[in-house]
Structure 1
Amino acid sequence: MLPSNKRTKTGVLRHRGPQWGAASAALAGLLLATTGCGSDQAVPESAAPPVPEDLECFSGSLTGAGSSAQENAMTTWIAGYQSACEDSRVYYNSIGSGGGRSQFIDGAVAFAGTDAAMDPEENADARERCGGSNVLNLPAYVVPIAVVYKLEGVESLNLPPETLAKIFNQEITRWNDPEIAEANPDADLPDMRITPVNRSDDSGTTENFTNYLNAVAPEAWPHEPSGQWPIVPIESAQGSSGIADTVGRAQGSISYVEMSHAHGLPKANIGVGGEFVEISSEAAAQVVANSPQREENASEYDLALDLEYDTTEAGSYPLVLVSYEVVCQDYPDDSQAEKVKAFLRYVVSPEGQSAASEETGSAPVNDDLRAKLLESISAIS
């Protein structure tokens, strides 16, 4: 039996009741049968993620689309929200960041998930659908990007930034190349062709990865950062799940993927300063905490960050993905604005962030960033 809901003066339902246990992998199977999220089936209370006691619920449906890196986190958030809010339905289609931004600009969805904040040109395109107001980029999901590989007999792999860039620029083509061997003196590297795998779709993960390569090894990676892969690929796959599946099947392959989609594949250690840093949410969070807000943000409530990919701070893992929820500051429809605000307040809550972290290995936003996020969400009208 779900807890009762109480309607507030704003017309948004406010949930008051107990919290539930942590999300589980089985929950994702219950809620996500396809690439889209959202379900008409009730999720058992024993499996549902925790929710705040003052959770706000809405009646009706809310639609979003975009980042496949957010797919597992969004599954968890939707499960927690819908379990507590029996009259609410949230749908999210993980079509990739570029597709999500396009659908948002076209007015097809109420919010977009994207691993690259909307740029000023996209903001200008979205002003009409936002009733003349600006777009807000809200960093709600922070997770490292894993460099995954499949190489029999090699359990651990160190990759300096320049070496990594040359691999993906197809300059280093064999696994026993001297540059790789120098960084891995104890590894039995085979004389095997390297198969770099990139995203085939317009991808925020690709944009973050190419931003990183361009920042840390500009001579080895002379291409402008982009969500579209800049050179003719050797192998490509669509979406985060497609990348993981392709690498998992192909001996000698290497790619980049949001950590929760790594699916047990080995992950390379990345060179930072004079050390090699193992991937972790804590090491990624360290980079985000030290990164300033983007100078060209169009509103004080736009929280897009300028990530310091080239940090040399000890213990930092700079190959990080900050995934945003993109919303209008002002919606033409009051009801849509209230639904977006209610759902996003749960997403950034300690309970929502903790649930996503347990499922995906993401780094929960810290208290300072949460306060800014709640201020921006409150500014939505």
Structure 2
Amino acid sequence: MKLSRLAQLGAVAAVASLALAGCAANEGGAPDAGAGSSDSSAPSLEGNLVGGGASSQEVAVQAWTQGLQTANPGLTIDYDPSGSGTGRESFQAGAVQFAGSDRAFKTDEITAGPFEACAEGSDLVELPTYISPIAVVFNIDGVDSLNLDAMTLAKIFAGQITTWNDPAITALNEGVELPATAITPVHRSDKSGTTGNFTDYLGKTAPDVWTAGSVEEWPALGGEAAQGTSGVISAVEGGQGTIGYADASRAGDLGTVAIKVGEEFVEYSPEAAAAIVDASPEEEGRAATDIAIKLDRTSTEAGVYPIVLVSYLIGCAEYKDAATAEMVKGFFSYAASAEGQDAAASAAGSAPISETLRTQVTEAIEAIK
């Protein structure tokens, strides 16, 4: 990843200090993190910032909103967790000033444009500021955890394995008494980046079984549909023999699946999610402010959890409205700061971004105008 100049990092730290009264800048770990932190005469952020999109980010966005609004009482931030697809569409139409999405815009979508809030010719800013494992959750009386490999998981969601005592499942879970209960797979009914990431894992690791590939809208394979992350969790909680997928922050007391990676079964964790992101390359052919990660779902490295989502904050490199640019810049700065990442980790169980990634993210934020 690119390293920014010290002067650039100093400028970013100054932006963060304006928004946070110096807190984020002092904890951000950048070489010149104290720059601008003593400028108490600088005006605070004011106005109404509207965003929408990924429900996976909802808890993190709430934490970021609380932190930023506490330091800036004249600022209000409204975020509608309507789903990644809706968020991207709303941002493109200019209905929201920033979007949250469990995938970056595709390059052909960017080329097609236009993006109504952005100045003509503006690049996008797409920042991987929320990293979280996707938990595979289930509800079976008396069973708290299960081991599954990619092939078996794909067969469950493709409707090819239909009872919990199927030999393919019992072979991976010696000593666990599994019932003959029918399996009810629960999937998102809405267009969802969480679905896109989950099906991307299935398609990359079990392509002979999961033939639909990476899709944000669930294909016609049966199962039960539910709206949003909350809907999936409610449906799994409300049934018996149910299994679904959701951002790990929402797993609660449901049973969870350890995924086979190489020769071991790996439980989801923030650390395991962060490990696969740092080991994955960026997508090529994008603007310097457009940081899209190409996740390596097939990694066999020890301790890596492959069913992970990287959720993005998306805005314009140049806005038509300067006041909007200032609010977005402040919000994105706090979200990427050490303080903001720690707040999200505490509230949502997400994985704080690495210092290497933060360096590139802060450089992209500094470009917003």
TM-score by length of 2: 0.88
Instruction: Tell me which residue corresponds to 2:329.
Output: 341
Question: What is the alpha-carbon root mean square deviation over aligned residues?
Answer: 2.0
Corresponding pairs, count: 339
5 Å matches for 1:87-102? 87-102=74-89
Verify: 1:176 aligned to 2:148, yes or no: no
State how far apart, in whole Å, the 2-side matches of 1:110 and 1:154 are: 44
Instruction: Tell me which residue corresponds to 2:57.
Output: 70
Give the deviation of 1:301 after TM superposition. 1.7
Report the AA paired with residue 201 of structure 2: Y
Give the deviation of 1:13 after TM superposition. 5.4
State how far apart, in whole Å, the 1-side matches of 2:334 and 2:23 are: 15
Q: Contact 1:127 / 1:135 at 8 angstroms: preserved in 2?
A: no
Structure-2 change in CA distance of 1:235 and 1:350 (3 Å): same
Report the AA paired with residue 16 of structure 1: A
State how far apart, in whole Å, the 1-side matches of 2:19 and 2:88 are: 30
Structure-2 change in CA distance of 1:164 and 1:60 (3 Å): same
Q: Contact 2:19 / 2:71 at 8 angstroms: preserved in 1?
A: no
CA displacement, residues 311-360 of structure 1 (integer Å, 9 cap, x when unaligned):
01011001101000111111111111111101110000000000110111
Q: Which runs of 5+ in 2 are unaligned?
A: 1-13, 25-35
Verify: 1:310 aligned to 2:308, yes or no: no
Which structure is richer in relative contact order (CA contacts within 8 A, separation 6 or more)? 2
Structure-2 change in CA distance of 1:90 and 1:13 (3 Å): same
Instruction: Tell me which residue corresponds to 2:111.
Output: 124
State how far apart, in whole Å, the 2-side matches of 1:286 and 1:339 are: 31
Deviates more, 1:91-100 or 1:264-273: 264-273
Give the deviation of 1:122 after TM superposition. 2.1
Verify: 1:165 aligned to 2:170, yes or no: no
SS in 2 for 1:268: strand
Give the deviation of 1:168 after TM superposition. 0.3
5 Å matches for 1:1-381? 15-16=20-21, 57-129=44-116, 130-131=118-119, 132-297=121-286, 299-381=287-369
Q: Contact 1:200 / 1:236 at 8 angstroms: preserved in 2?
A: yes
State how far apart, in whole Å, the 2-side matches of 1:235 and 1:364 are: 33
Give the deviation of 1:16 after TM superposition. 2.8
Deviates more, 1:132-141 or 1:143-152: 132-141
CA displacement, residues 349-372 of structure 1 (integer Å, 9 cap, x when unaligned):
000000110111100001010110
The structure carrying a bigger helix percent of its residues is 2
Report the AA paired with residue 116 of structure 1: R
Q: Contact 2:125 / 2:365 at 8 angstroms: preserved in 1?
A: no
Structure-2 change in CA distance of 1:188 and 1:371 (3 Å): same
Q: Contact 1:59 / 1:87 at 8 angstroms: preserved in 2?
A: yes
CA displacement, residues 127-183 of structure 1 (integer Å, 9 cap, x when unaligned):
442222222211000000000000012122000110000000000011000000100
Identity %: 45
State how far apart, in whole Å, the 2-side matches of 1:208 and 1:109 are: 24
State how far apart, in whole Å, the 1-side matches of 2:267 and 2:339 are: 27
Deviates more, 1:261-270 or 1:174-183: 261-270
State how far apart, in whole Å, the 2-side matches of 1:192 and 1:97 are: 33
Q: Contact 1:126 / 1:135 at 8 angstroms: preserved in 2?
A: no
SS in 1 for 2:130: strand
Q: Contact 1:268 / 1:278 at 8 angstroms: preserved in 2?
A: yes
Structure-2 change in CA distance of 1:128 and 1:360 (3 Å): closer
State how far apart, in whole Å, the 2-side matches of 1:14 and 1:250 are: 45
State how far apart, in whole Å, the 1-side matches of 2:344 and 2:114 are: 31
State how far apart, in whole Å, the 1-side matches of 2:107 and 2:232 are: 30
Instruction: Tell me which residue corresponds to 2:6.
Output: none
